[in-house]
Structure 1
Amino acid sequence: MENLLILPYNSELDVAAYQKLGVKIFTPESITPEDYANITIMLGWQLPLSENVLTADNSHLKWIQTVSAGIDYLPLAELKQRNILVSNMSGVHATPISETVLLYALYFARDFPAVLANGQKQRWAEHSEFTNIRTLSQSTWTIFGTGHIGAELARLLKAFHAKTIGVNRSGHAVSSFDKTYAQSDWQQAVAHTDVIVNIMPLTDQTTHFFNDQFFQSLPETYLFVNVGRGKSVDTNALIQAIQDHKVQHAALDVFEEEPLPNTSPLWKLPNVLVTPHYSSEMENLGSAWHAIFLPNLKSFVETGSVYENKVDLNNGY
């Protein structure tokens, strides 16, 4: 009998469907140290329990299904060495993250900082005071990362008549993008852009990709958005770019250090919107996880592999 450790992230998970596959269910409350070595499958990664399972003497762990798209927080080198299968939840978060990015853009484009400030003062402002309002129509967006989330964002932007430029490792074409560039050609991709969005996975190549060289080479950019990985952005370089007006506005949902320290200048910069790594949240998230995990579990029980979203541990995504 295969053993499955289900982390209790969400009560919507259909445990009965997993049990029908002959999988024994453990939870953090029911598992004992004597069980660690017998676990073969883990849903999610929760410390210190997951590390205890991974490092148990004579561990039988074979597969980790994450509940996130990013996997940079896993001990990738050890998993690769031990030939442990990893799959992610890529695609589950495409809709909420894409819609959140549009919210960020409209927040600044429609001058909502001023609207909200006047609302706090119970002040009815004259229309002539709103001098920074713009529309998304005819804007140019450069999206770093053209996977599920980037492609969905590009698709939605077509409804706003925006131009979409994608950046990925090879420069291969992706639906809904007007043009794509290879990551090495990023300077061409941002040469005439209004909005830059980071949705790249975190790898050795993308760590601090958005650094001082990147920001200082920009023409004046209206908005920089990070909903990818915090460590892709050199925070100090971004702050300097904002102060130098290389970046007029920034919307940031992920950070190098989380929670964002209350001493960070980002909290007080008036043209920066900080959100608490929440862009992927949505109702019925457990059901969305289940839609990927159950077919993968069936496939693993039958074949020892997974149906979708297998991670290439050499690439880190």
Structure 2
Amino acid sequence: MENLLILPHNSELDFSAYRQLGVNVFTTETIKPKDYAAVTIMLGWQNPLSETILNTPNANLKWVQTISAGVDYLPLSQLKEHHILVTNMSGVHATPISQTVLLYALYFMRDLPQVLVNNHKRYWTPQKAFENAFTLDQLNWTIFGTGHIGRELARVLKPFGTHVVGVNRTGHPAENFEQTFAQANWRAAIKDADIVVNIMPLTAETTHFFDHTFFEALHNLYLFMNVGRGKSVATDALLVALQNQNVLHAALDVFETEPLEESSSLWQTPNVLITPHYSAQRNQIGAAWHQIFLANLQKFLTHDKHLKNVVNFDQGY
């Protein structure tokens, strides 16, 4: 019998469906130290409990299904060494994140910061104040990351007549993108960009990818957005870029340190929209997790190796 430890607290996860498959289910409330070595499947990852189970003598852990798309927070080298399968939730967050990115863009493009300030003052803003408002078809987008989220964002933008190019590790073609570039060729990818979006996974190659060199290559970029990983962006470099107007606006959902410290200069920097790592959230997220996990669980139990979203340890995603 497989022993499943469910770590996220979400009522939409159907425990009965897992038990009907002959799986014994533990939660953080029901598991005891004597059960640690028996856990074979883990849904979610929660330290220190997860690492304790992984390092328990005679541990039997075989498979970790994360509830996130990114897996940079996992001890990947150790999981690889122990031949533990890892799958992620890539695809679940594509719709809410892409729609949130659209919101960020329109927030600045339609001059909502000014509208909201004047609303608070009960001041009717004259129409001539919005002469520099943009529409989506007027600005060129470069999206770093052409996975599920990047492709969905490009798809959403397409009907608006928006010019969208993508950047990925090798420059391979990706659905919904007019053109793609390799990460190493990023300068060509941003040559005509008005908006840059980071949705790349965090790896050794993408850590501080957006650094002083990157931002210095920009010239009055209209908007930089980060909904990928906080550590992909060197915060000090972004602050300098905003001060020097290499970047005119920024929308940031993820940060190098979270929660973002009260002392961070980002809070006081003009033309910066800060959100609390919420872009992936949506109603009934647990039901979406359940759909992917249940399908994977059924395959795992029948020794079908074609599980969805298997993580490549060498690539880190």
TM-score by length of 1: 0.98
- Report matched runs for 1:178-189 at 5 Å: 178-189=178-189
- Secondary structure of the corresponding residue to residue 103 of structure 2: helix
Alignment-mate amino acid for residue 314 of structure 1: D
Note the alpha carbon deviations across 1:215-234, whole angstroms, 9 max, x for none.
00112210000000000000
Alignment-mate amino acid for residue 216 of structure 1: E
- Report matched runs for 1:31-180 at 5 Å: 31-180=31-180
Judge conservation of contact 1:142–1:197 (CA < 8 Å) in 2.
yes
Note the alpha carbon deviations across 1:74-131, whole angstroms, 9 max, x for none.
0111111111110000000000000000000000000000000001111111111224
Considering only aligned residues, what root-mean-square deviation do their CA atoms show, in Å?
0.9
Q: Distance in 2 between matches of 1:96 and 1:283?
A: 10
Give the drift of 1:304. 6.3
Q: How many residues are treated as equivalent by the alignment?
A: 317
Judge conservation of contact 2:8–2:43 (CA < 8 Å) in 1.
no
Judge conservation of contact 1:87–1:308 (CA < 8 Å) in 2.
yes
Match of 2:300 in 1: 300
Alignment-mate amino acid for residue 294 of structure 2: L
- Report matched runs for 1:21-36 at 5 Å: 21-36=21-36
- Secondary structure of the corresponding residue to residue 64 of structure 1: strand
Alignment-mate amino acid for residue 155 of structure 1: R
- Secondary structure of the corresponding residue to residue 136 of structure 2: coil
Judge conservation of contact 1:297–1:306 (CA < 8 Å) in 2.
no
Note the alpha carbon deviations across 1:33-61, whole angstroms, 9 max, x for none.
00000000000001111111111111000
- Secondary structure of the corresponding residue to residue 283 of structure 2: coil
Q: Distance in 1 between matches of 2:15 and 2:67?
A: 16
Q: Distance in 2 between matches of 1:127 and 1:268?
A: 28
Alignment-mate amino acid for residue 17 of structure 1: A
Give the drift of 1:239. 0.4
Match of 1:10 in 2: 10
Identical counterparts, % of pairs: 60
> Gaps spanning 5+ residues in structure 2: where?
none
Judge conservation of contact 1:97–1:227 (CA < 8 Å) in 2.
yes
Q: Distance in 2 between matches of 1:257 and 1:305?
A: 37
Judge conservation of contact 1:141–1:196 (CA < 8 Å) in 2.
yes
Match of 1:241 in 2: 241
- Secondary structure of the corresponding residue to residue 46 of structure 1: coil
Q: Distance in 2 between matches of 1:74 and 1:176?
A: 31
- Report matched runs for 1:184-199 at 5 Å: 184-199=184-199
> Gaps spanning 5+ residues in structure 1: where?
none
1:255 aligns with 2:233: no
Q: Distance in 2 between matches of 1:148 and 1:9?
A: 25
Judge conservation of contact 1:191–1:219 (CA < 8 Å) in 2.
no
Judge conservation of contact 1:118–1:125 (CA < 8 Å) in 2.
yes
Q: Distance in 2 between matches of 1:259 and 1:8?
A: 20
- Secondary structure of the corresponding residue to residue 316 of structure 1: coil
Q: Distance in 2 between matches of 1:67 and 1:306?
A: 19
TM-score by length of 2: 0.98
Judge conservation of contact 1:5–1:26 (CA < 8 Å) in 2.
yes
